[in-house]
Structure 1
Amino acid sequence: MRKGAGEGLFPPTPFTGAALLLVVTALSGCIPQSSAAPEPRERGRPTLVSLNPCTDAILAEVADPAQILAISHYSKDPRSSSMDSALASSLPATRGTVEEVLALRPDLVLGSTFIDPATASAYRRLGLHLETLGMANTVEASRDQIRQIARLAGHPARGEALVARIDAALAAAAPPAGASPVPTVVWQSGGMVPGDGTLIADLLRRTGFANFAAARGLGQADLLPLERMLADPPALILVAGQGAETGRGDDRVLSHPALKALKSTRRATLDSRLLYCGGPTLIAAARRLAEVRTQIVPDKGSGTTPGVFRDGGGVSR
């Protein structure tokens, strides 16, 4: 799960440690008791604030809009959002500060395990119910997280429905029986590659690819120099960076002159937003990976030339 507001993705707010404790004390004194802690609800389902783009996307699938008091500000940015942009624009957002969240008086706050301890302590001191969720590094872990969030939101059946949609997408994206995995490097910004124990590694395995970097001893967030990749090339390079879908920035590796010598290596783009979050993002990620694999190793009778996208989607030699 990506780090969300107040959770270490960007520099922490000025209110940390002792300073934050002073702010909490002041807020506690200025806010009536009825406002400092949400009142128990005899009827209806809980209201929620999400501090992380990954939980934003899941919450939007399993909760009623009226239950969602705010999502993280990351989901308002198309470059970091894991949810539909129209839906994200229709929901309020916070930067995860204690003042913002407290003013909304949610029944439940969803954060990640990366949340700043001082911020987490402040929420709890002010009577806010904080649930922290870890990073889902496998599909199975994401299923569990969906069910947990749906249960917390009071809609367990919606969680099961989302899990069923994900399972259907993964089944549709699975390679044919007996197909050999395609050795693949997922090339991120600056040459960073994901190793084993990551969500994208699990997705690669389930959709017919082999994690080329992990097989060569590289771990999570290790760097794979272009020179090393040229000396020991994979069958496929998946470029995942902010420029990969726009024709700018990190996709320069796609047109690097040295890669022209790799006649057996194909290249494709993968939206970087598909790398980190589980939940509904798994559906789009599975479809994209299956699309790439089918173009590289087409099913019998498809009439498609390996390595060439007929729709301009992005696999090239």
Structure 2
Amino acid sequence: MKQRWLGSVLAVLLAAGCARVPEPPLRQGIVSLNPCTDAILAEVADPAQIRALSAYSRDPQSSSMDTELAAHFAATSGTVEEIAALRPALVISGNFTPPATREALARLGIPMVEFPISRTVEESVSQVRQIAAITGQHERGEALSRRIAAALARAAPGDGAAVPALVWQSGGIVPGSDTLIADLLRRTGFANAAAARGLKQADLLPLERVLADPPAVILAAGDHSGEDRMLDHPALSRLPGTERAPFNSALLWCGGPTIVRAADRLAEVRRQVTRPASQWSRR
């Protein structure tokens, strides 16, 4: 009966992101292989329903959840051998699972649901509801969705002016317009300066081009170690009218509860912007 139900779950999840899942829900045995699904699963599921989370969530550099909370669960690096030893009822992950792993799990009869990286808040909320449906924790999914909505409402700018902001990662990498962080920038009163320059996801923006045409705000998304010298280059501090603010790179990619933290941080930066709002449209 459980296998028939799991087949129904997979069919439903593949059908246009529908969040309605047939009963009974999975009460135990869920393994997550991705830090984004880890964070959502840990929020909506009972601990007893979680067999393991990805090892990424124990590493502060890659985790999208509280690493102390992640340490309460078993961790897996995602190898087929480790997953099989956990005897999961279901594996959830992102959509970058190696094909060999996907095929091996299928041969072992271990079902897997893959969730792509959310490009918008709406896509992320849909994933929250899907994972909540898998676990049978509908109300927890709705509670998290309400927290996301409340955070975005708090972060909405009062003046309506879009402040040009550059999210600048290690090595000069910038996010494209079709990304979750770009959606969050729009919702919190910023304009994506990288997209305005015609740059796409993971394009490189050299320091020289930033100095020649600086944005109003630089969100430095790096660890500020030696390899991130460009983000802390002294020439940036001499740019008139350009604010710089650190932005945790762990807030860039995952949705779910990460949206709450990202929105709060963006709102904090937006409040710190000192130039009159009337000047932003002229940049």
Scaled by the length of structure 2, what TM-score is found? 0.86
Aligned CA distance change for structure 1 residues 44 and 211 (closer, same or farther; 3 Å)? closer
Q: Could you tell me how far 1:208 is from its partner in structure 2? A: 0.6
Contact 2:30 2:52 survives alignment (8 Å): yes
Contact 2:170 2:231 survives alignment (8 Å): no
In our comparison, the structure showing a higher alpha carbon Rg is 1
In the alignment, is residue 224 of structure 1 matched against residue 198 of structure 2? no
Look up the SS of the partner of 1:223 in the other structure. coil
Aligned residue in 1 for 2:270: 293
Aligned residue in 1 for 2:12: none
In the alignment, is residue 74 of structure 1 matched against residue 51 of structure 2? no
Instruction: Give the distance between the partners of 1:270 and 1:216, measured in 2 at CA.
Output: 21
Instruction: Give the distance between the partners of 2:24 and 2:132, measured in 1 at CA.
Output: 19
In the alignment, is residue 48 of structure 1 matched against residue 25 of structure 2? no
Aligned CA distance change for structure 1 residues 240 and 44 (closer, same or farther; 3 Å)? closer
What is the RMSD of the two structures over their aligned residues, measured on CA atoms? 2.3
Aligned residue in 2 for 1:249: 226
Q: Could you tell me how far 1:78 is from its partner in structure 2? A: 1.0
Look up the SS of the partner of 1:100 in the other structure. helix
Look up the SS of the partner of 1:120 in the other structure. helix
Higher relative contact order (CA 8 A, sep 6+): 2
State, as a whole percentage, how many aligned pairs show the same letter: 61
Instruction: Give the distance between the partners of 1:167 and 1:42, measured in 2 at CA.
Output: 29
Contact 1:241 1:250 survives alignment (8 Å): no
Instruction: Give the distance between the partners of 2:237 and 2:146, measured in 1 at CA.
Output: 42
Aligned CA distance change for structure 1 residues 118 and 146 (closer, same or farther; 3 Å)? same
Aligned residue in 2 for 1:104: 86
Look up the SS of the partner of 2:91 in the other structure. strand
Give 1 or 2: higher helix fraction.
2
> Unpaired runs of 5+ in structure 2?
7-22, 278-283
The one-letter code sitting in structure 2 at the alignment partner of 1:137 is: R
Q: Bigger shift: 206-215 or 117-126?
A: 117-126
Contact 1:110 1:133 survives alignment (8 Å): yes
Instruction: Give the distance between the partners of 1:277 and 1:261, measured in 2 at CA.
Output: 33
Aligned residue in 2 for 1:188: 169
Instruction: Give the distance between the partners of 1:50 and 1:76, measured in 2 at CA.
Output: 13
Look up the SS of the partner of 1:222 in the other structure. coil
Q: Bigger shift: 66-75 or 114-123?
A: 114-123
Aligned residue in 2 for 1:265: 242
Aligned CA distance change for structure 1 residues 242 and 294 (closer, same or farther; 3 Å)? same
Moved over 6 A (4+): 39-44
Aligned residue in 2 for 1:281: 258
Scaled by the length of structure 1, what TM-score is found? 0.77
